[in-house]
Chains A and B, each alone.
Chain A
Amino acid sequence: MNYGIVSQEQLEQIDTILNEKLIKLGVDCVIIIDMAGNIITAKDNGENKYDVYSFAALAAGNFATVDAMAKLVGEQEFSLLFHKGQESNIHFSKIDDELLLISMFGREISLGFLRLNVVDVIEKIRKVWGSK
């Protein structure tokens, strides 16, 4: 297991996937983090200035908490983790046991549409990841 080091080539491929499949469709910001709260990559539409490092730490904690709660009530996992706001929403999706994909998007995108694309993106990222 050496996911801790990602090649430049892999990161570029992943960034391209995120740009083509999420940012271009109107998603404001996409971040891939690991469960320790490290940022693997972050892409945005150029308008949003999130403090991505704090965000990653909180997101990893949030996901880990919900995951631990699922186990407590006897669930394998809660597959959908979604926070809805007035102007922006956050969607979490597990890529594998170590990695999370987080998308932030506004009102112009529906959750269903986002989920379809996220599923597609995750499949593509897994391929890049498996290709090393």
Chain B
Amino acid sequence: MSFINLKEKVVQVKIVYYGPGRCGKTTNLEFINRTYKKQIVSEMVSLKTHGDRTLFFDFLPFDMGKIKGYDIKIQLYTVPGQVKYNATRKLVLRGVDGIVFVADAMAKQRSKNIRSLNQLHENLQSYKESIFNIPLVLQYNKVDLKEHGIPILPTSVLEKDLNSKLKVPYFEASAITGYNVAATLKKIISSTVVSIQKKLL
């Protein structure tokens, strides 16, 4: 849940990047961190293992500037994608306002994406939140691999697997080159801010 400080006119918004292991969540935040230096006031915090896998979360505070006189502070988080870390994934989801589900477009990851999305659904239920209500954007990541001859799931398949019931905005992306990373971020921020404004009215 977003926190709104009426005294200092600050709104804090929590956005979580969720998805299976190695799908590119951390890479999304790293790209944002490099690209938007001006809007990022402090260092990215990464709690990770020696092998660079996320152990708990990455955290990146992102300053949106003002909307209707309120200072919007976006807090970006990633979850650890490895199967064994579901307890920590749940902790990171606490109080979430908006979610980017990063799917791995590599053909061999097809079932992992589906399992991860199902688990997101369950994890949100444990907070009495619904995947059908929360602002959500899907990102089909690693599309750059197609050029290297690596089998990639066509977007139509990913849409059918993941988005046929949800019907939320989606982007093909490449976190490593930055393709559609900003578009994904902008979309989730605007959906989330709109949803918070609705709650305020």
Contact = CB atoms under 8 A, between A and B. Distances in A.
Interface in A72-90: none
A6 interface: yes
Interface stretch (B3-11, B130-138, B139-147, B158-166): B3-11
Contact of B1 (A36, A41, A60): A36
Given A51-B42, A53-B42, 6 more contacts: A5-B4, A6-B5, A34-B95, A53-B41, A53-B73, A68-B87
Interface residues of A, number: 25
Interface residues of B, number: 29
Contacts of B6: 5-8, 11
A34 B73 CA distance: 15
B72 interface: no
B25 interface: no
A12 B95 contact: no
Of residues A38, A51, A53, which shows the largest number of chain B Cβ atoms within 10 Å of its Cβ?
Answer: A38
Contacts of B14: 36-38
Contacts of B52: none
B95 A61 contact: no
A110 interface: no
A35 B94 contact: yes
Given A37-B14, A38-B12, A54-B43, A11 B7 contact: yes
B42 to A, nearest CB: 4
